[in-house]
Structure 1
Amino acid sequence: MAAIDLNLVRVFVTLYDARSVTLAAERLHVTQPSVSYALSRLRDLFGDRLFVRSRDGMQPTFTAMQLYPALRDSLAQIDSVLEGSKEFEPRHSQKRFRLALTDLGEMALLPRILAHLHAQAPGTELEVVPLEIDKVEDWLATGQVNAAICSRPIQAAGVERRVLLSDERYVCLLNRDHVSIGDSLSLEQFIQARHAVVAASTGHGLAEDVLRKQGLQRKVSLKVSHFSSLPRILQESDLLAILPEQIASAFALEAPLKVLDLPFEVPPFDVALHWQAHTTRSPAQRWFCDGIVEAITRA
């Protein structure tokens, strides 16, 4: 097989991640016909269709699935070496960074991060990607995001971790005038009450894990995708919700809500920044991660 063009490798990896010619073209900042032409060349090189159109997008063939890990890792290493050779001047940079973050992170951390980064690099762009805890490991490995902030540790090889907030804890948030719960919450009241639950994809599932291990079941009446919708829901209902204390206290200052201790033990947790270790060869990546750490830990 002839030597493969690096640009074709980039198209292959991007198309594999995006599962869409349109999205791949957007991420590569090229036209859709350019991606289609590159795919045609890739098919000739490997003697395989590589991707097949389906109702769920461009699905990789078995050959593509075999090729992907090696090509992805090789491309990441090459990009890391190339980035490491470039100078980075924050004041004059127009670079875009992508950060995976929950809506809680957007409310509690993003203003500080944005203010700190733009004070040093006003021309840079920050794109926030809604965190999906089951996908973030792949996002970091493939370079879809520069970094991710979450409370659940990412254990993948090659991922660096830096704690931003330590010893956070979960509490219960509910209507200040709840009809049956006063200034404290018993386990019986907790079990009997109706609850609002936020999607596990946010990574905030530690309390759920504890309940499951203790064999406790609660009445879940509502499941939502974002924590930010809870204040309005809780103040107009008798539902209970489990949230990190810092954001629950902030919600209680702005709405007729109250914060109570949970009637069972949940270990404290850390909120940490995660990134792929090899990317720190890039001066821009180092600046970005260091800036986030500084913005949060020195605030």
Structure 2
Amino acid sequence: MGNLDLNLIRTFVMLYETRSVTVTAEQLFVTQPSISYALSKLRDVFKDRLFIRTKGGMEPTATAQQLYSELSRSLSMIENTITNVQSFDPAKSQKCFRVAMTDLGEMTLLPSIFARLQKEAPNVELEVVPLEIEKVDEWMSSGKIDAVICSRHLESQSIERHIIRKERYVCIINDKFSPSPQALTMEQFMSHRHAVVTKSLGHGAAEEALAHLGVKRKVSLKVSHFSTLPSVLEKTGVMTILPFKIATLFTENNALKIYELPFEVADFEVALHWQSRHNNSSSHSWFRELIIQSLSEY
């Protein structure tokens, strides 16, 4: 066991979480042959294959599964201890933080976050990763991202969350094509054609509510980004469902009208999420607090 240094533990944990030699090499900033060499040493130490190459990736053996919980916990404690001993100075740091969010987040939240970041840590780099809600757990556990801002409640026990604000969904349409009454009826809602945004961004609550009612609206357009909608709405008579905050933003520069939905959709929370293993990391704590403070008056 004397040959099991910190780099070997880090390689084992990352390989277990990613199931990929390629991704592990990328995350640890080493070559793939280096990962293969480290795996060979790990196999010698534990007298077990540890990982078996399959079509779905590197599948851990029973021994690897038994080792992971203890080694990952030990690695987290060691890395947090090292991070806390090393002072983090945001004014001098050149660290890169990665946060996943939708284009809605980029439009409404990112300006405040980046402005504060530039003021407090001008040399720190911020990389925004386009949100794919189905991949968030994998991205968080593998270290591809440091945090995510989204409206979906992430179920993993290893993920912490802080609520940024509460929101509700509304309907929006070009004012020229809007129904005359102030209140939108279900009949009027169903008579219009609609533009929808892919569920991969985490905004599928309205579709789920309609499915529960047993009705299906007329969808004419599906897009992967919210930011394309203002120009579409400006030239057509389609309706779309948006969070109230972004709908209000869209109406500032476009002749659009907002309606309350004619059916019940639960309000939702926009929250910051991060891995609990980073709770005691001084750099990650500073980054989380920067996001929270920059959005506190949003």
The CA RMSD measured in Å over matched residues stands at 2.7
Residue 124 of structure 1 deviates from its aligned partner by 0.8
Deviation of 1:269 after TM superposition, in Å, equals 2.1
User: d(CA) in 2 for partners of 1:144 and 1:42?
Assistant: 24
- The answer as to whether partners of 1:103 and 1:130 remain within 8 angstroms in 2 is yes
Q: 2: distance between equivalents of 1:89 and 1:210?
A: 47
Q: TM-score of the superposition, structure 1-length normalised?
A: 0.85
How far did residue 151 of structure 1 move? 1.5
Q: Secondary structure at the match of 2:88?
A: coil
2:249 aligned with 1:250, yes or no? yes
Specify the code of the residue in structure 1 equivalent to 2:267: P
**Segment of structure 1 superposing worse, 185-194 or 89-98:** 185-194
Consecutive unaligned residues in structure 1, runs of 5 or more: none
Does the 8 Å CA contact 2:18/2:142 hold for their aligned counterparts?
no
Q: Distance in 2 between matches of 1:68 and 1:230?
A: 45
Greater alpha carbon shift after TM alignment, 220-229 vs 17-26: 17-26
Deviations 1:56-90 (A, max 9, x none): 6x442555566555544443333223222221111
Contact 1:98/1:144, CA 8 A, preserved across alignment: yes
1:193 partner letter: H
Q: Does residue 181 of the first structure (1) align with residue 182 of the second (2)?
A: no
SS at match of 1:281: coil
Alpha-carbon contact 1:76-1:142 (below 8 Å) kept: no
1:41 equivalent in structure 2:
41
**Cα deviations across residues 81-118 of structure 1 (Å, max 9, x unaligned)?**
32222211111111111212111111100111011112
**In the alignment, is the contact (CA less than 8 A) between 2:17 and 2:141 conserved in 1?**
no
SS of 1:36 mapped into structure 2 = helix
TM-score normalised to structure 2 length: 0.86
Deviations 1:178-223 (A, max 9, x none): 2x73454220122232222222222222222322333332223333
CA contact (8 A) 1:76 1:143 kept: no
Tell me what 2:275 maps to.
276
Aligned-residue offset at 1:258: 2.6
C-alpha distance in structure 2 between counterparts of 1:174 and 1:161, whole Å: 33
Give the counterpart letter for 1:247 in structure 2. Answer: I
Query: Is the 1:86–1:282 contact (alpha carbons within 8 Å) kept by the matching residues of 2?
Result: no
Say if 2:27 and 2:144, in contact at 8 Å, map to a contact too.
Answer: no
2:212 equivalent to 1:213: yes
User: Residue 146 of structure 1: CA displacement?
Assistant: 2.0
CA displacement, residues 130-174 of structure 1 (integer Å, 9 cap, x when unaligned):
2233332343344432222112223432433222123x1111122
- Contact 2:3/2:45 (CA < 8 Å) preserved in 1? no
Tell which deviates more after alignment, 41-50 or 220-229.
41-50
